[in-house]
Amino acid sequence: MSIEVWAPRTSRVRMRRPDVPDVELTATADGWWTSNIVLGDGDEYGFVLGDGDDLRPDPRSRRQPRGVHEASAWFDPQSFSWSDDSWTGRPLAGGVVYELHIGTFTPGGTLDSAIERLDHLVDLGVSFVEVLPVNDFNGVHNWGYDGVLWYAVHEVYGGPAAYQRFVDACHARGLAVIQDVVYNHLGPSGNYLPEFGPYLRDAERNTWGSSVNLDEAAVRRYIIDNALMWMNDYHVDGLRLDAVHALKDSAPVHILQEIAEETDSLAAHVGRPLTLIAESDLNDAKLISAREADGYGLTAQWSDDYHHALHVAATGETTGYYADFAPLSALVKVATKGFFHDGTWSSFRGAVHGHPIDPRIPTSRLVTFGQDHDQIGNRAAGDRLSQTLDEGGLAIVAVLTLLSPYTPMLFMGEEWAASTPWQFFTSHPEPELGRATAEGRLAEFTAMGWDESVVPDPQDPETFLRSKLRWEEIHDDRHGRMLELYRRLVRLRRTTPEFTDPRFGSVSAEADEDARWFRMQRGDVQVLVNFAEAHVQLPVPAGAVALLTTDVSARVDERTALLPGRSAVVLRAPDAVR
Please state the residue numbers annotated as binding site for substrate.
240-245, 304-308, 373-378
C-alpha radius of gyration, the chain, whole number? 25
User: 126 near 97, Cβ under 8 Å?
Assistant: yes
CA distances 74 to 15, 39, 60, 80, 160, Å, are 13, 7, 10, 14, 11
Nearest-5° Cα angle at 561, 556 to 567: 100
Q: How far is CA 561 from the centre of its chain?
A: 37
CA–CA dist 94, 97 (Å, integer): 10
CA–CA dist 222, 216 (Å, integer): 10
Active site residues: 242, 279
CA–CA dist 535, 517 (Å, integer): 10
**Please, which residues have CB within 8 angstroms of residue 117's CB and are 6 or more apart in sequence?**
105, 106, 471
CA–CA dist 69, 245 (Å, integer): 30
Mapping DSSP to helix (H, G, I), strand (E, B) and coil, where does residue 527 land? strand
CA–CA dist 550, 174 (Å, integer): 29
**Please, which residues have CB within 8 angstroms of residue 323's CB and are 6 or more apart in sequence?**
347, 348
CA–CA dist 142, 116 (Å, integer): 22
For 44-65, letters b (16+ CB in 10 Å) and e give bbbbbbeeeeebbbbbbbbbbe
Q: How far is CA 395 from the centre of its chain?
A: 23
**Please, which residues have CB within 8 angstroms of residue 490's CB and are 6 or more apart in sequence?**
96, 124, 125, 126, 402
In this structure, which long-range contacts are made by residues 511-514, counting pairs with CB atoms below 8 Å and at least 24 apart in sequence? Answer: 511/328, 511/329, 511/331, 511/332, 512/328, 513/327, 513/328, 513/329
Containing 15, the helix (H) or strand (E) segment is: strand 13-16
Q: How many CA atoms lie within 13 A of 212 on its CB side?
A: 25
Q: For the chain, give me the number of helices (H) and strands (E)?
A: 14, 30
User: What does the CA dihedral 441, 446, 452, 458 come to, rounded to 10 degrees?
Assistant: -10
Nearest-5° Cα angle at 450, 302 to 453: 115
The strand pair at 176-181 and 200-206 is best described as unpaired
